[in-house]
Amino acid sequence: MTIFAELLSEQWAYRELLVRMTARDLLLRYKQTVMGFGWAIFMPLVNTAIFSVIFTRVATIDVGTAYPVYAFCGLVAWNFFASALRFSVTSLTSNPSLVTKVYFPREIFPFSAVLVSVVDLAVALGVLAVVMAYYGVLAPHASLLLLPAVVTVLIVFTSAAALFLSMANLFYRDVKYLFEIVIAVWMFATSVVYPIGRVGGRLGALLALNPLTHIVDAFRDVLIAGQAPAPAFWVTAAASIVLLGAAWAAFHRAEFTFAENL
């Protein structure tokens, strides 16, 4: 527990640097783009339109609500996760001078990438509310009080993965290429655009172990279904906290060798 107290204390001491790094990354991401934050909602909307055609016209599936709402809700959570990791994986290798010459907690780099994506997530959630209102799904209910808990678990799980990936890519540059393959497959192994629960057999049992499915399903539970997340989500929440602690400790032990690998 001592090491985690030290890590949290050090991160708090450098909180202003984290804010500045996040602001810098946010400006760089949308610098010289016409749409700016519009990209945070454009891709989920385009993907929602594409999958709506596929699953309402070609291979019809019943998801218990308007399919565009179902898909957009899943894509909002998924795009946050994928975008945060996509920028985290190269967050250390793209800042060699800062990593090697200036001392500060190196986890600020992947954490900054996650926080930038949190801004995108906030924008996308606002658009999701509009989409839900358009389809008559938006209604106040008590389960909305659990939305911050669901978002927090998503951020914790993403932060843990970001720490592991950024560290792994520093030692093995193949990771950033392998990541693109894994993230594409992972999306279809998650309840993003169709219910994974409909998959039976051994494959269905294997896919049920995917922690992101429980997080995405929890998003839909509190936003669309008006109910508390399933017990599997709370198990995922506890596991995500443990995973973040393990990732952070491993990152801290390895950061003294970062400079010699850049």
**What single-letter amino acid sits at 262?**
L
Q: Please give the Cα distance from 18 to 53 (Å, whole number).
A: 42
Query: Which range is least confidently modeled, 39-48, 89-98, 251-260?
Result: 39-48
Query: Model's pTM, two decimal places?
Result: 0.91
Mean of all residue pLDDT scores within the chain: 88
Question: pLDDT tens-digit profile of 89-118?
Answer: 999 888 888 877 777 888 999 999 999 999
Q: Please give the Cα distance from 207 to 64 (Å, whole number).
A: 21
- Work out how many domains the chain is built from and give that number: 1
Q: Which residue has the tokens 């218990």?
A: 64
* Domain carrying residue 186: 2-261
Residue 34: the pLDDT is 58
Residue 153: the pLDDT is 97
Q: Is 6 a residue whose pLDDT tops 80?
A: no
Residue 28: the pLDDT is 77
CA atoms in the 13 A half-sphere facing the CB of 257: 8
Residue 1: the pLDDT is 58
Question: Residue 64: phi, psi to the nearest 5?
Answer: 85, 0
Closest listed residue to residue 91, CA positions, set 5, 168, 188: 168
Q: Is 218 a residue whose pLDDT tops 70?
A: yes
| Helical ranges in the chain per DSSP H | 2-13, 15-30, 39-53, 67-88, 96-101, 108-134, 147-171, 175-188, 201-207, 211-220, 231-254
Q: Assess contact for 110 and 162: CB atoms under 8 A.
A: yes
Q: What is the mean pLDDT of the segment spanning 131-143? A: 86
Query: Which range is least confidently modeled, 27-36, 38-47, 53-62?
Result: 27-36
Q: What is the mean pLDDT of the segment spanning 78-92? A: 93
Q: What is the mean pLDDT of the segment spanning 117-144? A: 88
Q: Assess contact for 67 and 142: CB atoms under 8 A.
A: no
